[in-house]
Structure 1
C-alpha cells in the first residue's frame, strides 16, 4: 500500500491551502490535501481573516508587477499567488522546499506563464540578475538568524538592476529579535531596527522603504508586521 501524506485541514499545519485535492507524487506516495482551517472545533479562529491577510500581502506585491516581468515568489507555499497575479501578465516562478506542497501547487496553479521549482531559503541558489521582482512574504522568519543575511544577499544578486524585493517580517512580541514566541514555525523574528539593519546592509538604506502594519490575526491576537520595499540600484 502506498504511503499517504496528509496536508492542511488544521491550524497546526502551518500552511494555507485554499482547496481540497488528492494526487500522487512522482515517487508513488499519495497526497491528500484538505482546505486549511476547516472547522475543527477550535473557537476564536477567523478563517476569512486569515485568507484575506495572506492574499493582501500579494496584492502589495502586485502593485509592482508589470506585463512581461519575471517575478519570483520565495517561499511560495501552496502557490495561490500565481493565480492572484496572473492577470498582471507576469512570468511567475514559485519556489518552496516542501515537495508535496510544491506538487500541490503544480496541480492547482501551473500554467503557460507559471511554474514551480524546489528552493530552500537556507541555500537559495538563484541565477544572477534573473528577476525583475522578488517577493519573500512569510519567509525570512522561518529560517535561523545565521541564514537571513545570506538569503537577502542572494535576493539582491538575483535581481536585475532596478529590480525590487518586497519582503515581510513579523515583530517578535517581546520587542527583541529572538525565536518566535507565538508561532512555533518562526525560527527568528526581527524587531524593526534589526530588520532595517539587515536590509540596509545589502541594499543601500536610501533604497529601502519600510511600512509598519498592526493587525488583528485570525486568532484575535494583535500583531505587528513589517513590510519593506527594497530597490536594487541601476
Structure 2
C-alpha cells in the first residue's frame, strides 16, 4: 500500500503563506493541530503546530510576529510513493499526529493523520517488509520491538515442526510474513485473512508460488477432511465469539491429517482485583488457562497436545503460575493398521 492511495487532498484549508501574521494563524488552527506553511507553488517551507503556539504563549511581545518567525523549518514529510506502513511507523516513532505528503518536486499534495492510519493498521497486526534472514539479523541485534519479536518467534517456533513438502493452513495469516517464513519449508500454504488491507499487503510483499493468499471469513472456510499436514493459527481464537471459536477448532481438527500438526496460540485471560482483565478491545474470547486447555483437549480428541508459554523468544512448558500466551502444540494420532 502506497501513501498516494490514502492521502487527504484537502490541504489548502490547513495551509498558509509564511508571511501570514501569527495572530491570524492562531484563528486558522483547527483540530488537525497544525498548519502547513507553503509558498505560492505549494512548496513546503515549514509547519506550525499547536505545540509551537503553546510554547509561544509563554513568551511576551509575539503579537507582531509572522508564521515564518516561529514555524518548524525542517518538518518531517512523506512522499506519495512511500510505503504506507513505513510512514505509519515513522509517525508512531516520532509521535506525529499529521504528516504532509509531497510530490517529486517537494510540493504539498495532501496529508495523512495518525488516526486515519491507526484505523487502517490493526494494533495487533505487524507489517514487516523484510524476509526471514533479515528478521533474524534484527532479532540478534536486539532491534526488533517487543511485538515484532514475539510475533516472529511464535511463527519461528511453529516452523520447527514443518517438513519439506507439507501443505499448511495459516489462519489468520495477517500481512503474510509468517506464511513467507513457513514457505521456507512447506510446499503449499493456504493463507487466510478477512482483511482486504492485510491480504493486499501480503500479495504486494510476499508473493510466492507456494502461497495462496485468500480473503475469507473463518466462518466461511471449507476444506476436505485430512487436507493439511499442519494447521497454524496464531492470535486468532480470541477474536472469535465462543460458538465460532469452538467451531473453528473443530474444523481444524477435521482438516488436519493423521500424523499432522496443529499449532495454536492465544492469550490466557488475566484477572485484576478478582475480575477478568482484558486490555485489548478486539479480544472477545480470552479464556483462563485451565478452560482453554480443557477446550483444546475436548475438541482434539485424537490428538496428543503439549502446552507452552512464551518468554520473549523462548518457549517453555506451561506451568500454573505462567501468564501471557498459551501455545498449544498437538499432533494427530496416526490411524492404526492391523
TM-score range relative to shorter protein: 0.7 to 0.9
1-structure distance, mates of 2:159, 2:129: 22
Aligned to 1:116: 213
1:144 paired residue among 238, 241, 251: 241
TM-score (norm 2): 0.54
Residue 95 of structure 1: SS of its match in structure 2? Answer: strand
> CA 1:180–1:5 in 2, change beyond 3 Å: closer, same or farther?
farther
Q: CA deviation at 1:121?
A: 2.4
Q: SS where residue 122 of structure 1 aligns?
A: helix
Q: Give the paired residue count.
A: 200
- CA shift in 2, pair 1:4/1:71, >3 Å: same
Name the residue aligned to 1:232.
332
| Residue among 182, 207, 224 paired with 1:85 | 182
Which consecutive unaligned segments of at least 5 residues does structure 2 have? Answer: 8-83, 93-117, 131-142, 314-321
Q: Distance between the aligned counterparts of 1:163 and 1:122, measured in 2?
A: 22
The 1:179/1:94 distance shift into structure 2, 3 A limit, reads farther
Query: Whose relative contact order is higher, 1 or 2, with alpha carbons under 8 Å and at least 6 apart?
Result: 1
SS at match of 1:162: strand
Q: Check the 8 A contact 2:261/2:329 in 1, yes or no.
A: yes
> Relative to 1, partners in 2 of residues 1:198 and 1:113: Cα closer, same or farther, differing over 3 Å?
same
- How many angstroms apart in 2 are the aligned matches of 1:135 and 1:184? 23
Render the CA deviation track for 1:123-172: whole Å, top value 9, x for unaligned: 43233211000101111011111211101100011111111110011012
| Greater shift in the superposed pair: 75-84 or 122-131 | 122-131
Cα distance, 1:233 vs. partner?
2.0
TM-score (norm 1): 0.75
- Contact 1:179–1:189 under 8 Å retained in 2: no
How big is each residue's C-alpha offset from its partner over 1:60-79, in whole Å with a ceiling of 9 and x where there is no partner?
11011111000111000000
Displacement after TM superposition at 1:179 (Å): 7.8
Are the aligned partners of 1:180 and 1:187 in contact in 2 as well (CA < 8 Å)? no
Match of 1:96 in 2: 193
Q: Distance in 1 between matches of 2:211 and 2:172?
A: 15
Q: CA deviation at 1:184?
A: 1.3
C-alpha change, 1:160 and 1:206, in structure 2 (3 Å) is: closer
SS in 2 for 1:201: helix
Match of 1:43 in 2: none
Aligned-pair RMSD on alpha carbons?
2.8
Which of 1 and 2 has greater Rg? 2
Unaligned residue ranges in structure 1 (runs of 5+): 21-45, 217-221
- Indicate the structure with greater helix content: 2
Change in 2 beyond 3 A, CA 1:180/1:136: farther
Indicate the larger mover: 159-168 or 112-121: 112-121
Checking the alignment, whether the CA contact within 8 Å between 2:303 and 2:330 is kept in structure 1 is: no
Residues 25-68 of structure 1 show CA distances to partners (whole Å, capped at 9, x for unaligned) of xxxxxxxxxxxxxxxxxxxxx96221111100001110111110
CA distance in 1, matches of 2:325, 2:231: 18
